[in-house]
Amino acid sequence: MRRIACSLVCVFCLATLTSCVGSDQPISDVNTAEQDAKLVGVWVQVEESETNYLHIAGEGIAAKGAKKPTPGMMRYVLVEQLASDEGVTIGGAGSGNFFVCKLGDNHYASLYPMDQPPPEPGDVPGFWLMKYKVDRDTLKIWMLGTRELAKVVESGALAGTVSKPAPLQFFHIPQVRLTATSEELAAFFKTQAGDKLFGAEPAMDYRRLR
């Protein structure tokens, strides 16, 4: 996984000791997506010697093959600031595009990094799927639990593939690739079993910077 391009997702994954889960399809259709104005702004999270700044903007970005900007497309930029005895340094930076949807009472984002249009099905890296909640000046983000999702895929409840972790991988976490359609993903995440895959506690907890 490329460090800079996948910065946002990697931070989430490390925070929850999970591996990033790729999906061939987003949860919803980018052409019918609407921007979530509550997300727009600068968000910050401080953890000991690390400060993460998450910039979210709603701007005119075109989906793949589109000649005009896609109204529902949004953009993120993440900057990681590290403090040490030698001073403050930039630990990493990454940017990309995403779009959101609402299923029941929950909000979800389909994200892809590196300022590129959505990949074709089967392309790498594919989409990363997240659940989020904005409550006034707080932003909470949940990631899919990889081990739990692997069990769901292996049971046949959701289409995908599960690969065993590499022999020298530190956390011994399986690699999961979802191949389900957008409609299948949305239907499953609306169930209680699907919602539990994101866990009870958020992976990241930001506050709005004013």
Interval 143-175: pLDDT, tens: 998 889 999 999 999 999 998 766 655 556 788
Domain segments of the chain: what residues? 7-208
Residue 78 to residue 177: CA distance in whole angstroms: 24
Is the Cβ–Cβ distance between 179 and 126 less than 8 Å? no
DSSP state of 127: B
The torsion defined by the Cα of 10, 161, 149 and 108, in degrees rounded to 10, comes to: 60
Is the Cβ–Cβ distance between 119 and 133 less than 8 Å? no
Q: pTM above the 0.85 mark?
A: no
Residue 12 to residue 122: CA distance in whole angstroms: 23
Residue 76 to residue 56: CA distance in whole angstroms: 5
Query: Among 86-90, 102-106, 137-141, which is the least confidently predicted range?
Result: 86-90
Q: Report pLDDT digits (tens) over 8-26.
A: 444 444 433 344 588 999 9
pLDDT of residue 159: 97
| Strands lying side by side in the sheet with 22-23 | 22-23, 175-178, 160-163
Mean pLDDT of the chain: 80
